[in-house]
Amino acid sequence: MYTPAITGTGVYTPDQIVTNDELVAAFNAHAEKFNARHADAIAAGEIEAKQPSSTEFIVSASGIHQRYVLDKTGVLDPEVMHPHLPERGNDEPSLMAEMALDACAKALERAGRRAEEVDLVICAASNHERPYPAIAVEIQQLLGAGGFAFDMNVACSSATFGMQAAADMIRTGSVRRALVVNPEICSGHLEWRDRDCHFIFGDVCTAAVLERADEAKGAHFVIRSTRCATQFSNNIRNNNGFLRRTREGHMADRRDMLFVQEGRKVFKEVLPLVSRHIAEHMADEGIEAAELKRLWLHQANKAMNDFIGRKVMGRVPEAHEQPNILQDYANTSSAGSIIAFSKYSDDMAPGDTGLICSFGAGYSVGSVLVERAG
Ligand code: COA
């Protein structure tokens, strides 16, 4: 058995930012137009008028100040309210692969590795541009990596579940070096016209190089253990599968064909699930709360992270012990905890222990316990 380690990470950040103020202005203009267009039906009580959104609510309910997106013009056009992401031809790289190349190049550089030295690519994300051929195989080919590649989807937990899969394969020797890449185009599956969630998501791509610890070329994080768990829930759901066409014969403008959540229920049900999951993972590894130097949590909601941090550490964690990036990136699904890890881990000392944890639809929760080395 070999010991797996994370030897490099990379983050691709789109260059377009949407601030809360810009977003709220677009949403409110859309709501006004909608209400004017449906004035008669609203007056007759047939449909509900749209209420305005506000920057104050977004910040207090979520902690989000801005988000990065691939295209802000469509998102901010009250007549459009979704990103303009033209379909790519079969002879062009897919959008997800393009984002992945940037994040993978950065991760490989930090690991001191070349793409040809990689023999596994896992593209783990909450939505994929197409069912097949796998985006991961396209990334493998564009990078010039060897071995094999596959896609996986465990919603917001995709990155940690992908790391567990890669770490297990490295442990047993079936692969030597893996790239786990998480291109998340959340702007594509967000309903920007729904006040309850229009502020939640942003776009990003993260990548991590995993390889045998004894082959690491520089400072790295040994993966002490991983743990994944799932429990079925409809409280975060997207029905946009291929059967929609056989059901309806056309692409209907149905609300359930994009991200839908019962935010309050998610809050209530996921918090105990995640706190228990982390406590049990740490107990099984003999790690006391006082030994945990850092928590890189899924980035969906600041209040949620504050709660989990307090529960896990047994006190209010210092900001540097539980770094948040959601104020800048919003919820980037599976990539969130990896952005936090990538940006806030270099300062850790050899022997320091930390835990990456993601959670979300499924429900799903995945944790990766790491120790700084080298
Ligand atoms: N602007 C202004 N007011 C808004 C609003 C908006 N954009 N959206 C909702 N409100 C109002 C609601 O109408 C409600 O008003 P009421 O009390 O008069 O009915 C009030 O604000 C509270 O709404 P609620 O939906 O209960 O907000 P919340 O405090 O639960 O925050 C979320 C909403 C989505 C930020 C929060 O529930 C959350 O983050 N949940 C977990 C999400 C999560 O982790 N999901 C995983 C996805 S991967």
Per residue in 308-347, pLDDT (tens digit) is 999 999 999 999 999 999 999 999 999 999 999 999 999 9
Q: How far apart are CA 261 and CA 162, in angstroms?
A: 24
Q: Pick the catalytic residue from 104, 123, 156, 205.
A: 156
Query: Given pLDDT bands bounded at 50, 70 and 90, which one contains residue 243?
Result: confident
Q: How far apart are CA 230 and CA 372, in angstroms?
A: 28
In a domain, 339, yes or no: yes
pLDDT tens per residue, range 144-164: 999 999 999 999 999 999 999
- Per cent of the chain over pLDDT 90 is 95
In a domain, 358, yes or no: yes
Ligand 1 pocket check for 140: Cβ under 6 Å = no
In a domain, 253, yes or no: yes
In a domain, 137, yes or no: no
Using the mean position of ligand 1's atoms as its centre, give its distance from the Cα of residue 61 in Å: 6
Ligand 1 pocket check for 63: Cβ under 6 Å = no
pLDDT tens per residue, range 45-71: 999 999 999 999 999 999 999 999 999
Residue 104 annotated to the active site: no
Cβ neighbourhood burial of 26 (10 Å; 0-12, 13-18, 19+): buried
Q: What is the pTM of this model?
A: 0.96
Q: Mean pLDDT over residues 271-292, rounded?
A: 96
pLDDT at res. 253: 76
Give the domain extent around 310. Answer: 222-373
pLDDT at res. 353: 97
What is the pLDDT of the chain when averaged over all its residues? 96
Does position 296 have pLDDT exceeding 70, yes or no?
yes
pLDDT tens per residue, range 175-211: 999 999 999 999 999 999 999 999 999 999 999 999 9
CA distances from 1 to 285, 346, 370 (A): 18, 27, 17
In a domain, 159, yes or no: no
Ligand 1 pocket check for 123: Cβ under 6 Å = no
Does position 247 have pLDDT exceeding 80, yes or no?
no
**Ligand 1 atom at shortest distance from the alpha carbon of 24:** 7
Ligand 1 pocket check for 64: Cβ under 6 Å = no
Cβ neighbourhood burial of 358 (10 Å; 0-12, 13-18, 19+): buried
Q: Mean pLDDT over residues 101-106, rounded?
A: 98
Domain total of the chain:
1
In a domain, 175, yes or no: no
Q: Indicate which CATH number applies to the domain containing 240.
A: 3.40.47.10
Does position 293 have pLDDT exceeding 80, yes or no?
yes
In a domain, 270, yes or no: yes
Ligand 1 pocket check for 266: Cβ under 6 Å = yes
Nearest CA to ligand 1 atom 2: 53
In a domain, 251, yes or no: yes
